[in-house]
């Protein structure tokens, strides 16, 4: 699979939904496959909140497989033999694109807490600038899961002429009260870490690692299904010689401790707050009298909405709502409810049906 990693610099800057602006910014982008002669085979994949530009194949930095490696690749659901897949790291993230850990050109200091609020629309606007930079007139498809699915939906609404298909997977048209509540507990644990310094930790040479770890541990639970957790860990005890922490009794505790620890070593705390805030704020209907069907009126893309039965973070009903609103607005739209064993995370894992359905949608 032909893979390229490129850092795109946008010196024209961007005005954000909040009214603030960035005078210039970078997007680090991984691409897979090759753009065809008439530039009609480009697919944008959008990552969820902790993802990066490394969607497929091994990462250059840590050798880890990309977050959507089961779905994107040669002969996979998103077939890189046919499609030119573009996977940017989002603005505000911490894997190379401009974000809170970058240097602010005005002050020559790390942005930290002063990095402006970012919204899903801002990501889509920056991705549209990327589309122009690549010299492509429209995406054959934009797709993603979770917060990535929200970007796909925003794309269909904001740039109807620049997107042919949108795959909105394990997502919602807006965060629920429960979603916001869970995010707030995560944020609170970061903010109350003694090393957070109100977001200025990097300037102080500190890092709110324990807060970020706890935040991730909580969030991780929401990505799994109860059944899946029971099957994987049950009430089994952790062997004494492989405990990551003395306090651990059960395997599930050990697993969460391990995952939280790993995450806190690679992710940025301000980015965590910024990304979850973007998710909480997503609500494309807000500019349309709170009517999603009105927000969807001008959509020209075909929509494929997929929910997973075991997902309780963005349950299938949230996806159904999007399809129903699309139907009311006479937009071509399909809704699928897949089994998926892994709860919200099901969107990351391949299954025969999932693969067949995405292939069929992309071929139509």
What positions carry a catalytic annotation? 146, 311, 344
**Interface ranges with another protein (CB under 8 A):** 302, 304, 320, 323-324, 327-328, 330, 332-337, 353, 356-357, 360-361, 363-364
The least CB distance from residue 305 to another protein, in Å, is 9
Both tokens of 283, joined, read 């609500």
Choice between 184 and 355, CB closer to another protein: 355
CA distances from 45 to 71, 177, 228, 265 (A): 11, 27, 27, 25
Choice between 154 and 333, CB closer to another protein: 333
Please list, in sequence order, all residues whose beta carbon lies within 8 angstroms of the beta carbon of residue 11, skipping any fewer than 6 positions away.
24
The least CB distance from residue 344 to another protein, in Å, is 19
The least CB distance from residue 304 to another protein, in Å, is 7
Angle between helices 269-281 and 209-223 (to 10 degrees): 40
Choice between 85 and 303, CB closer to another protein: 303
Per DSSP, which regions of the chain are E strands? 3-10, 14-15, 21-22, 25-32, 42-46, 72-73, 78-79, 84-88, 103-104, 109-110, 141-145, 165-169, 302-308, 333-338
The least CB distance from residue 317 to another protein, in Å, is 10
Q: Which residues of 281-306 are buried (b: 16+ CB within 10 A; e: fewer)?
A: bbbbbeeeeeebbbbbbebebbbbbb
């Amino acid at each position: 699979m032909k893979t390229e990693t490129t850092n795109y610099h946008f010196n024209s800057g961007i005005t954000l939904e909040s009214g603030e602006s960035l005078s210039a910014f970078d997007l680090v982008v991984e691409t897979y496959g090759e753009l065809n002669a008439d530039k009609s085979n480009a697919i944008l994949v959008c990552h969820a909140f902790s993802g990066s530009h490394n969607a497929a194949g091994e990462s250059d930095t840590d050798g880890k497989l990309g977050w959507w490696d089961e779905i994107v690749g040669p002969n996979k659901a998103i077939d890189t033999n046919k499609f030119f897949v573009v996977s940017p790291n989002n603005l505000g993230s911490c894997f190379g694109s401009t974000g809170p850990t970058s240097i602010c050109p005005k002050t020559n200091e790390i942005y930290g807490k002063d990095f402006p609020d970012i919204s899903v629309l801002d990501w889509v606007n920056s991705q549209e600038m990327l589309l122009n930079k690549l010299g492509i007139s429209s995406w054959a498809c934009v797709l993603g899961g979770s917060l990535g699915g929200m970007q796909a939906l925003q794309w269909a609404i904001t740039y109807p002429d620049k997107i042919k298909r949108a795959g909105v997977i394990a997502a919602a048209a807006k965060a629920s009260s429960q979603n916001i509540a869970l995010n707030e507990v995560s944020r609170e644990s970061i903010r109350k870490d003694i090393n957070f310094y109100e977001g200025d930790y990097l300037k102080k040479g500190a890092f709110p690692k324990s807060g970020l770890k706890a935040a991730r541990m909580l969030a991780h639970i929401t990505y799994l299904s109860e059944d899946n957790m029971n099957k994987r860990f049950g009430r089994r005890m952790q062997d004494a010689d492989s405990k990551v922490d003395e306090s651990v009794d059960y395997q599930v505790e050990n697993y969460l401790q391990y995952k939280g620890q790993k995450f806190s070593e690679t992710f940025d705390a301000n980015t965590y707050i910024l990304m979850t805030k973007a998710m909480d704020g997503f609500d494309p209907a807000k500019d349309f009298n709170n009517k999603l069907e009105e927000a969807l009126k001008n959509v020209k893309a075909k929509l494929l909405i997929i929910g997973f039965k075991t997902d309780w973070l963005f349950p299938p009903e949230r996806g159904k709502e999007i399809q129903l609103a699309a139907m009311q607005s006479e937009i071509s739209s399909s809704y699928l409810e897949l089994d998926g064993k892994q709860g919200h995370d099901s969107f990351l894992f391949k299954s025969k049906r999932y693969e067949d359905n995405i292939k069929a949608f992309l071929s139509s």
